[in-house]
Amino acid sequence: MKYFKIIVFCFLIASVLSLLGVFVLQSTGLIGKADSDFRNLPYGIAIGINFFFFLSSFTILLNLKEKVRDNNTYKAMSFFLLPAIFVVFLLLGSWNQPWPGILFCVPYFIVLFIFFLRSKNTTQGLL
């Protein structure tokens, strides 16, 4: 249950941070300047990207097996491999303007990295 909570908390915290980032960028006028039906599209894109990260993070549940949990390489791969592959596909899909896609990925990876370090420390008995 601990690893499923990590997945859900990563999704919720990263979604809130992404939505706050979109709100700040729209308030400053950097994105969504035109008055059209697509003004709120960045909010949907932020939630959609975080949802794909949520789905790709189910490999964290592999840490329930002792073989994966005890090996640091397998543990890191279970946390970061599929989300990193999704980032590569996102970069290839938006090759002419990659930075907006990357900015939507940063909060999820920061939260995921924090939970990775925390879970690594708790299995070693430090926390």
The pLDDT tens digits of the residues spanning 92-102 come to 887 777 676 67
Rounded distance, CA 21 to CA 12, Å?
14
Across 25-34, 42-51, 79-88, least confident range: 25-34
The pLDDT score that the predictor gives to residue 54 is: 94
Task: Return the DSSP state at 61.
Answer: G
**pTM recorded for the entire structure:** 0.81
- Note the pLDDT tens digit of each residue in 3-43: 899 999 999 999 999 999 888 888 887 776 777 777 888 88
